[in-house]
Structure 1
Amino acid sequence: MLNPQWLRTFATLVELGNFTRAAECLDLTQAAVSQHLRHLENALGLLVIRHPRRLELTPAGRALLDYCDEMNLADQRLRLRLSGADVESGEISLISPGSIGLALFPLLLTLQEAHPGWIVRHRFAPDPEVLEAVLRNQYELGLVTLKPDDPRLTARHFTQEPLELIVPAQEDVRGWGDLERLGFIDHPDGQAMASRLLSRHFPGNAGIRSLRRQGFSNQVGLILEPVARGLGFTVLPRYARTAFAKQDLIRVIECGAPVVDTLWLIHRAEWPLSSYATQAIDYLQAHLAAPAVAP
């Protein structure tokens, strides 16, 4: 690798066209300027032809000057990136549970359209995977439903999301017997979510495990498909329901006092967020339609 000080001396010498002025500008002796140029020419060949009143670059000298310009630009880009001032390019990396992810991903794409130099990288994952990915620096931002107590992470309130009891559009639920008749469409968090919500709406019930399991899907975007076809009921966070395209084929049953999950935004505590991550957070919170959670 070429010595950066030699490159700076060469670029200054070419700019000023004189050894004396270059030495004064760099606070060096003329002998030091000549020595730096000699080191470069020993490595690259003849760079400068000395005329009585001017310097002439050889082809190798022009190539080296272009290289100096590229190095200066690279240095500027690095400083901008480290300072957070470069908002025209960057990567938004977010890992989140599936339900909120369905609501956020279209917003992230809209944000990317407004900033073509940005890259959006988003992954759906449960809480433990989110925590591990952020701690291992695989994703800058994460969303979890349980606030972590790990000192390596900063956590702040992002939004709230209530659980909903969702049935086929033509069905009504007035008692536990209606759920027994319909059967349960399960998913990875289905039984835990259903237990939390249904214990409030149907106190003293036999429990979600007593109900017939009519189906299962681990794809959050597909869980409501069997419900829409009349094959059973399920319990999901609201953002998963609002992202479903066939709203006319499903129905939300009012369950009184809501069961609400708080979503926490997490990132590493040891260093500040990038400027584009901060912009993305502000944009998402401003444009995310907060669901009503009042009783």
Structure 2
Amino acid sequence: MLNPQWLRSFIALVDTGSFTRAAERLALTQAAVSQHIAHLEEALGQLLIRRPRQIELTPAGRALLDYCGQLEGAERQLHARLSDAEADAGEVSLITPGSIGLALYPILLDLQQAHPGLVIRHRFAPDPEARDAVLQSSYELGLVTLKPDDPRLAFEPFIEEPLELIVPAGAQVAGWDDLSRLGFIGHPDGQAMATRLLSRWFPGNPGVRALPVHGFINQIGLILEPVARGLGFTVLPRHARLAFARQEAIRVVAGEASVVDQLWLIHRAEWPLSARAQRVVAQIRQVCTGNRA
């Protein structure tokens, strides 16, 4: 097992970029930090390329840095598991898709204000990243759109999230030509979402790729801004629309056939949720299920 002090010196060196600053951070001598790095390189191979005023990690150095991150995650999980009974204090970590994340984050902040001992760590991420983060114990809770099939994950239905066709408030959409006239506001999942919804509403349409594109934005909280300004239409999950501040400037087009995603709550199957995580889940479920308009 690698000496923890050697690893602390390595992390400090990577963070500061300097043997001198690393030594100051750790209250050690520069010679001690150099010796710790030399021990690591003796065990693992060259970790650093030393340049004037710059330190560059080798592939082995990057691998060691990843290993240090895994150790840190394991330590967080250990502290969380040792304090599972505390419902009002400690860290709650949650990783979710962006749409539902926009709805959840204010709820999480309200909960943290009511219980100042809680520390909320929330990240927006696509399904593969969320699943891997929970598997690696970087996050205790996750929400994903695809039902997991990994036996290491416990999962349960959390909430359904419909896709919505969203247009400027004054726009009328009676057919494909109206969408073509408005133009599409793209986003990273935009074409896939629009294809799923519009193929049901307008069978035989020439396809989303045939629509003129009037903009693209990769920040989910900003996707509806060009729609509100009359620059085009888009397709988003409902919670992304509900989180938009200027509801009066947009309109949801009604359709006969709905497309609904089931969101799944996941956590590691090997241990139960902490009391504080159970509190968070109960709170966000209550608010989300009561806010479906």
TM-score higher than 0.5: yes
Q: Contact 1:80–1:86 at 8 Å: present in 2 too? A: no
Q: Contact 1:94–1:123 at 8 Å: present in 2 too? A: yes
Counterparts in 2 of 1:117-156, with a 5 A limit? 117-156=117-156
Match of 2:85 in 1: 85
- Per-residue deviation at 1:88? 3.0
Q: 1:80 & 1:128 partners in 2: Cα distance?
A: 24
Q: 1:79 & 1:120 partners in 2: Cα distance?
A: 15
- Change in 2 beyond 3 A, CA 1:213/1:80: closer
- Change in 2 beyond 3 A, CA 1:80/1:135: closer
Deviations 1:158-181 (A, max 9, x none): 000100000011101001000111
- Per-residue deviation at 1:84? 2.6
- Per-residue deviation at 1:105? 0.5
Q: 1:79 & 1:122 partners in 2: Cα distance?
A: 18
Q: 1:80 & 1:219 partners in 2: Cα distance?
A: 32
- Per-residue deviation at 1:256? 1.4
Deviations 1:202-226 (A, max 9, x none): 1110110111111111110000000
Deviations 1:73-109 (A, max 9, x none): xxxxx99963632223111100000100011001111
Match of 1:234 in 2: 234
Q: Contact 1:184–1:213 at 8 Å: present in 2 too? A: yes
Q: Identity percentage over the alignment?
A: 66
Deviations 1:17-65 (A, max 9, x none): xxxxxxxxxxxxxxxxxxxxxxxxxxxxxxxxxxxxxxxxxxxxxxxxx
Match of 1:249 in 2: 249
- Per-residue deviation at 1:292? 5.0
The one-letter code matched in structure 1 to 2:105 is F
The one-letter code matched in structure 1 to 2:275 is S
Match of 2:185 in 1: 185
- Residue 157 of structure 2 aligns to a residue in which SS? strand
Q: 1:80 & 1:238 partners in 2: Cα distance?
A: 33
Q: Contact 2:85–2:274 at 8 Å: present in 1 too? A: no
Deviations 1:224-243 (A, max 9, x none): 00001111000000000011
Structure 2, unaligned runs of 5 or more? 1-77
Match of 1:271 in 2: 271
Structure 1, unaligned runs of 5 or more? 1-77
Match of 2:210 in 1: 210
Q: 1:194 & 1:256 partners in 2: Cα distance?
A: 15
Q: Contact 1:161–1:291 at 8 Å: present in 2 too? A: no
The one-letter code matched in structure 1 to 2:280 is A
- Residue 222 of structure 2 aligns to a residue in which SS? coil
Q: 1:220 & 1:234 partners in 2: Cα distance?
A: 12
Aligned length in residues: 216
- Residue 206 of structure 2 aligns to a residue in which SS? coil
- Change in 2 beyond 3 A, CA 1:79/1:185: closer
Q: 1:184 & 1:226 partners in 2: Cα distance?
A: 10
- Per-residue deviation at 1:268? 0.6
Match of 1:285 in 2: 285
The one-letter code matched in structure 1 to 2:247 is Q
Q: 2:263 & 2:150 partners in 1: Cα distance?
A: 16
- Change in 2 beyond 3 A, CA 1:281/1:292: closer
Q: 2:164 & 2:87 partners in 1: Cα distance?
A: 39
- Residue 220 of structure 2 aligns to a residue in which SS? coil
- Change in 2 beyond 3 A, CA 1:79/1:175: closer
- Change in 2 beyond 3 A, CA 1:80/1:289: closer
- Change in 2 beyond 3 A, CA 1:80/1:177: closer
Q: Contact 2:159–2:289 at 8 Å: present in 1 too? A: no
- Change in 2 beyond 3 A, CA 1:118/1:202: same
Q: Contact 1:101–1:124 at 8 Å: present in 2 too? A: yes
Between structure 1 and structure 2, the one with the greater Rg is 1
Counterparts in 2 of 1:11-50, with a 5 A limit? none
Match of 1:199 in 2: 199
Runs (4 or more) in structure 1 with deviation over 2 Å come to 78-88, 289-293
Q: 1:205 & 1:230 partners in 2: Cα distance?
A: 23
- Residue 221 of structure 1 aligns to a residue in which SS? helix
- Residue 177 of structure 1 aligns to a residue in which SS? helix
